[in-house]
Chain A
Amino acid sequence: MYNFEFVKPSSVDEAVAALKDEDAQPLSGGQTLIPTLKQRLNQPSRLVSLLGIADLVGLSESGGEMTIKGATNHATVAAEAASSFPGLAALAGKIGDPAVRNRGTIGGSIANNDPSACYPAAAMACQATIVTNTREIAADDFFEGMFATALDEGEIVTAVRFPVPEASNYQKFEQPASRFPLTGVFVAKYADRVGVGVTGASNDGVFRWKEAEEALASNFSPDAISGLTVPADDMISDLHGSAEYRAHLVKVLTGRGVAAC
């Protein structure tokens, strides 16, 4: 780790001000950022912790929407969303291990946009809204490919707003080493539509499998997608699976997700 300055403001405004410094960076649960610092892959001048901001923690529900504040950790989501949004609670409950879940946050996960992160799949399937200190961004516009988002320098994710589906399910197929999803599919069923968010599979990061969404909207059963194929062209190929394998998993997991809804 290189040296850096550490500040822990108690309000979003103070945090935004502290982030004006050129190489300043927000620190949330640190589950992604701290390992990169330890490996000297990142050299921020200042870390601005978001964990002292009471206003950034907690879940609330109104008008069919669940709002999860940016610095809410995965364990909290797993516990508190369990009755009203069990699909998302289960997703949060399967991230990493207890230590990771009690530190890592939804804001950090969404802002980092790891191509294998779990939350982005749910955000896409549910067409969630990403709320920042300056604006609101639709999930479709927020995620811009591997590790890339619509966030500007110094912009903070303050909350994520999910329309709560009638039923939902997350199929996480784990990469054997990291236990991140090798491919993960979030299926969300609403009265008027179905969302299918896919993570871990594509070179372009998280995406919606729109063909499946359409097919499932009229017939919400695994059979509805049996005739579809997922093109392997833009899928990730690595040590753990080929592009073809990932494309295949997208379909299998979508079917299983639908069956489990």
Chain B
Amino acid sequence: MPKDGIGASTKRREDVRFLTGTGRYTDDINLGKQLYVHFLRADVAHARINGIDTSAAEGMPGVVRIFTAKDFEGVGGLPCGWQVTDKHGQPMQEPKHPIIAEGKIRHVGEIVAAVVAETLDQARDAAEAIMPDLEELPAVVDMKEAVREGATKVHDDLTSNLCYDWGFVEENKAAVDEAFEKAAHVTTLELVNNRLVANPMEPRVAVGDYAAHSDESTLYTTSQNPHVIRLLMGAFVLGIPEHKLRVVAPDVGGGFGTKIFHYAEEAFCTFAAKQLRRPVKWTSTRSEAFISDAHGRDHVSKIQIALDADNNFTALRTDTYANMGAYLSTFAPSVPTWLHGVLMAGNYRTPLIYVNVKAVFTNTVPVDAYRGAGRPEATYQLERCIDKCARELGVDPAELRRQNFITPDQFPYATPVAVEYDTGNYHATLDKALELADVAGFEARAEESKRTGKLRGLGIANYIEACGIAPSNLVGQLGARAGLYESATVRVNATGGVVVMTGSHSHGQGHETTFPQVIADMIGIDASQVEIVHGDTANTPMGMGTYGSRSLAVGGSAMFRAAEKVINKAKKIAAHLMEASEGDIELKDGQFTVAGTDKSVAWGDVTLAAYVPHNYPLDQIEPGLEETAFYDPANFTYPSGTYICEVEVDEGTGQVEVLSFTAADDFGNVVNPMIVEGQVHGGVAQGIGQALLENCAYDADGQLLSATYMDYAMPRAADLPMITVDHSCQTPCTHNPLGVKGCGEAGAIGAPPALVNAVLDALNRNGHAVDHIDMPLSPARVWSAMNA
């Protein structure tokens, strides 16, 4: 048996460098003759720029050059990677997204000018001497106001603030409406999915460099997908061919989605470095991160479920306003549509579904994918509405869900919203969660809480997600301007060690530990013999990066395919060495054997033969042992699960305490249980953060009210209970070679509805008839709801 193969809870090898301060993050990179840029950012949300006087600033000490929009004439805008088609068949409205504000400021934080200087302080000093001549305009903040006739326009050249009005599935709309008319019961719920700031521990950083001798540009950046940045920035913004552009994303301290996108600062540093022939560095402050990192969520929805007299769901319809912010961030249009509408069936058999989404421009920071992206918004609506429905009908919320589950024998199951779930067993995770959370003992615990003056509640939520993003031909039809395959090169060295160059990127997920476990298992060598290389376009094959819980399902599958090719070739070599027929060769525990004989050669003998081909079938195969595979998934993967949360509410103050949290997930096969559990812990922590604490709030003038940690509440260890995680219910994915589904986002998807349901249960069972409270469930909001 190889050491640390599939199924081992191997400790994360990358943690050694992270925990000992020897990681190499982008900010650790300092190049000779490096300059620093400070961005002058808008402090108003909406204004016409009549001019920018940089004359006083130009002459200040250390200033090398000041850039404004006019220096970017001829440079492209930041491209959007997904084109959504509206319900009339028209393409979405797609405004230009300039590197530096052109003519108008459209959100607080937008770059107005950039000062490049010898030191950061000099750049900052000079920025204070820049005088923009601004004519303030009314800010557009509220989405419903924004789409009203005659509303102020964020983009003067668009017809309105409506990016698109999407209907899905438009052809089903009439049938859905008809089912509602016939329904025995209809439950309606209006809710807000609160805007969030991702807040990875490491703020964004970019270092641009230019080598005049080779005419090559290099960008070091905090990215989840360096190849995508190379493609977008090279082809659409700066016009640099990919062979003259290298993008390096070294150690990255968390992304959560917000480091997927191509940002103005990256293009700026690359552009300025070439202009000035010196490296240019930008390190975001935390304050800048709040107003320049893409935000997440921000949906306002109305959901309705129709039921027949036997409590079967007969139809579902939703109306959502999705905030795009001032510009379209890289994948923004896809989040409320193809990552949200297609998940609206959830774990249920609802036969008729119609989803309407209006994407709206406002004078706020662009919004894009954040851990879960669209799927949390879908799950939250559905699981909150089902809970309300159970209360209205006076039935057990768990049983109402169970009754409407897709049953195990129905897989593969085609939903009415375009996707086909390959496999799942929702009854299993529900039963598992009910057992682990000791739901049977809840009433006794609730009585106990009452004695101490607290209101106790229990909340359940199921989730389904579409991960392992995604089949390229499918997403192409849906508007993606990219393929979503993944790649890997498996290079075996002469002495048998393996290096895997993957297009996936690890920024906390643990690829450097889990990917070797797969190789170790396939070949039968110790995981320590395998090294993972990622994050540099110069030495990894074209990859699409890490998001959408796709690394192991798509990137791991590419690696698996490449390793298969390597093993097949190695078998040919082994067959030659043992003078046997290739079909009889077996590889186990690092030994090639000939079936039915005691002949064997070791892995290392074969790899050596590949590089020292003295006794080698050179007429049939080439020397060397290195293969590349690109893997394009046949379908999404569909992890699912049941989450149960128990809370206590302090009636006097509205304070919510999370007492316990149980997660029963079906992730298919699990490569490293410890890492999977860690991913669930992290996701649940972020979900609890969204549900209880995090609130990215703007005032009517478009000023961000929660622009620092003094007002933006992040979850801390003390806010979290011990989390019980179970992943024993496994229905392996049927279409990828590893049978894995992905686990990175589940926690953030399932936790918010479980928690909110628990709080509402606590209130309702103690005499407070409250239908809904919008997240975050701050003490003030809970108290107000109880005392409305």
Q: Are A176 and B653 in contact (CB under 8 A)?
A: no
The answer to whether A239 and B784 touch (CB under 8 A), given A39-B287, A177-B710, is no
* B663-702 interface code vs A (CB 8 A; 1 in, 0 out): 0000000000000000000000000000011010100000
Q: Are B780 and A242 in contact (CB under 8 A)?
A: yes
Complex CA gap A248/B655 in Å reads 13
Q: Are B653 and A239 in contact (CB under 8 A)?
A: no
* B688-732 interface code vs A (CB 8 A; 1 in, 0 out): 000011010100000001100111111000000000000000000
Any chain A CB within 8 A of the CB of B187? no
Q: Are A239 and B783 in contact (CB under 8 A)?
A: no
Measured between C-beta atoms, what is the minimum distance from B197 to chain A in Å? 12
Q: Are B778 and A173 in contact (CB under 8 A)?
A: no
Complex contacts, B776 vs chain A, CB 8 Å: 176
Q: Which of B128, B653, B711, B780 has the most CB of A within 10 A?
A: B780
Which residue in A176, A177, A241, A252 is a CB contact (below 8 Å) of B652? A252
Complex CA gap A126/B655 in Å reads 28
The answer to whether A248 and B783 touch (CB under 8 A), given A176-B778, A239-B695, is yes
Any chain A CB within 8 A of the CB of B779? yes
Q: Are B713 and A176 in contact (CB under 8 A)?
A: yes
Measured between C-beta atoms, what is the minimum distance from A98 to chain B in Å? 14
Q: Specify the chain A residue showing the minimal Cβ separation from B709.
A: A177
Q: Specify the chain A residue showing the minimal Cβ separation from B783.
A: A245
Q: Are A240 and B287 in contact (CB under 8 A)?
A: no
Which residue in A40, A178, A245, A252 is a CB contact (below 8 Å) of B780? A245
Any chain B CB within 8 A of the CB of A33? no
Q: Specify the chain B residue showing the minimal Cβ separation from A241.
A: B780
Which residue in A177, A248, A252 is a CB contact (below 8 Å) of B711? A177
Complex CA gap A39/B695 in Å reads 23
Complex contacts, A252 vs chain B, CB 8 Å: 652-653
Complex contacts, B128 vs chain A, CB 8 Å: 40
Measured between C-beta atoms, what is the minimum distance from A181 to chain B in Å? 12
Measured between C-beta atoms, what is the minimum distance from A125 to chain B in Å? 20
The answer to whether A239 and B710 touch (CB under 8 A), given A245-B783, A252-B653, is no
Complex CA gap A76/B695 in Å reads 35
Q: Are A177 and B713 in contact (CB under 8 A)?
A: yes
Complex contacts, B787 vs chain A, CB 8 Å: 248
Q: Are B705 and A239 in contact (CB under 8 A)?
A: yes
Complex CA gap A188/B692 in Å reads 33
The answer to whether A176 and B693 touch (CB under 8 A), given A245-B784, A252-B653, is yes
Interface size (B, Cβ < 8 Å)?
Answer: 25
The answer to whether A240 and B778 touch (CB under 8 A), given A39-B287, A245-B784, is yes
Complex contacts, B697 vs chain A, CB 8 Å: 239
Any chain B CB within 8 A of the CB of A167? no
Any chain B CB within 8 A of the CB of A59? no
Complex contacts, A239 vs chain B, CB 8 Å: 695, 697, 705-706, 711
Q: Are A249 and B653 in contact (CB under 8 A)?
A: yes
Complex CA gap A240/B777 in Å reads 11
Q: Are A177 and B653 in contact (CB under 8 A)?
A: no
Which residue in B287, B709, B779, B783 is a CB contact (below 8 Å) of A178? B709
Complex CA gap A176/B693 in Å reads 7
Q: Are B711 and A178 in contact (CB under 8 A)?
A: yes
Q: Chain B contact residues: over half helix, strand or loop, or mixed?
A: loop
A169-196 residues with Cβ-Cβ distance < 8 A to B are 173, 176-178, 180, 182
Measured between C-beta atoms, what is the minimum distance from A205 to chain B in Å? 18
A227-251 residues with Cβ-Cβ distance < 8 A to B are 239-242, 245, 248-249
Complex contacts, A248 vs chain B, CB 8 Å: 783, 787
Q: Specify the chain A residue showing the minimal Cβ separation from B714.
A: A177
Q: Specify the chain B residue showing the minimal Cβ separation from A176.
A: B713
Complex contacts, A241 vs chain B, CB 8 Å: 778-780
The answer to whether A177 and B780 touch (CB under 8 A), given A239-B695, A249-B653, is no
B631-675 residues with Cβ-Cβ distance < 8 A to A are 652-653, 655
Measured between C-beta atoms, what is the minimum distance from A176 to chain B in Å? 4
Complex contacts, A173 vs chain B, CB 8 Å: 653, 655, 779
* A150-176 interface code vs B (CB 8 A; 1 in, 0 out): 000000000000000000000001001
Measured between C-beta atoms, what is the minimum distance from A212 to chain B in Å? 16
Measured between C-beta atoms, what is the minimum distance from B542 to chain A in Å? 42
Complex CA gap A41/B783 in Å reads 36
Measured between C-beta atoms, what is the minimum distance from B161 to chain A in Å? 25
Complex CA gap A42/B256 in Å reads 35
Complex contacts, A40 vs chain B, CB 8 Å: 124, 128
Complex CA gap A177/B780 in Å reads 13
Measured between C-beta atoms, what is the minimum distance from A27 to chain B in Å? 20
Measured between C-beta atoms, what is the minimum distance from A8 to chain B in Å? 23
Measured between C-beta atoms, what is the minimum distance from B115 to chain A in Å? 15
Q: Are A177 and B783 in contact (CB under 8 A)?
A: no
The answer to whether A177 and B784 touch (CB under 8 A), given A39-B287, A239-B705, is no
Complex CA gap A176/B124 in Å reads 32
Q: Specify the chain A residue showing the minimal Cβ separation from B128.
A: A40
Complex CA gap A100/B693 in Å reads 22
Complex CA gap A252/B780 in Å reads 13
Q: Specify the chain A residue showing the minimal Cβ separation from B654.
A: A245
Q: Are A240 and B780 in contact (CB under 8 A)?
A: yes
Measured between C-beta atoms, what is the minimum distance from B388 to chain A in Å? 25
Q: Are B705 and A242 in contact (CB under 8 A)?
A: no
Q: Specify the chain A residue showing the minimal Cβ separation from B693.
A: A176
Complex CA gap A177/B705 in Å reads 12
* A124-135 interface code vs B (CB 8 A; 1 in, 0 out): 000000000000
Complex CA gap A93/B776 in Å reads 28
Q: Specify the chain B residue showing the minimal Cβ separation from A178.
A: B710
Complex CA gap A176/B784 in Å reads 16
Complex CA gap A241/B712 in Å reads 14
Q: Which of A177, A242, A245, A252 has the most CB of B within 10 A?
A: A177
Complex CA gap A245/B711 in Å reads 17
Which residue in A177, A180, A245, A249 is a CB contact (below 8 Å) of B712? A177
* B36-50 interface code vs A (CB 8 A; 1 in, 0 out): 000000000000000
Measured between C-beta atoms, what is the minimum distance from A228 to chain B in Å? 15
Complex CA gap A121/B133 in Å reads 46
Q: Specify the chain B residue showing the minimal Cβ separation from A251.
A: B652
Complex CA gap A198/B655 in Å reads 19
Complex CA gap A256/B784 in Å reads 20
Complex CA gap A173/B652 in Å reads 12
Complex CA gap A4/B695 in Å reads 37
Complex contacts, A242 vs chain B, CB 8 Å: 780, 784
Complex CA gap A239/B713 in Å reads 11
Measured between C-beta atoms, what is the minimum distance from B283 to chain A in Å? 14
Complex contacts, B779 vs chain A, CB 8 Å: 173, 176, 182, 241
Measured between C-beta atoms, what is the minimum distance from A33 to chain B in Å? 15
Complex CA gap A240/B694 in Å reads 11
Complex contacts, A180 vs chain B, CB 8 Å: 710
Complex CA gap A252/B652 in Å reads 7
Q: Specify the chain B residue showing the minimal Cβ separation from A249.
A: B653
Complex contacts, A178 vs chain B, CB 8 Å: 709-711
Complex CA gap A27/B325 in Å reads 41
Complex CA gap A39/B710 in Å reads 14
Complex contacts, B712 vs chain A, CB 8 Å: 177
Complex contacts, A240 vs chain B, CB 8 Å: 711, 778, 780
Q: Are A177 and B706 in contact (CB under 8 A)?
A: yes
Complex CA gap A40/B128 in Å reads 11
* B759-779 interface code vs A (CB 8 A; 1 in, 0 out): 000000000000000001011
Complex CA gap A22/B569 in Å reads 81
Q: Which of B695, B697, B776 has the most CB of A within 10 A?
A: B695
A55-107 residues with Cβ-Cβ distance < 8 A to B are none
A-B pairs with beta carbons under 8 Å apart, 7 shown: A40-B124, A173-B779, A176-B779, A241-B778, A245-B780, A245-B784, A256-B652
Apart from A173-B779, A177-B710, 10 more pairs, CB < 8 Å: A40-B128, A176-B693, A176-B713, A178-B709, A239-B705, A240-B778, A242-B780, A248-B787, A249-B653, A256-B652
Q: Which 5 A-B pairs have the closest CB atoms?
A: A177-B713, A241-B780, A176-B713, A178-B710, A252-B652
Q: B residues near A, CB below 8 A?
A: 124, 128, 287, 652-653, 655, 692-693, 695, 697, 705-706, 709-714, 776, 778-780, 783-784, 787
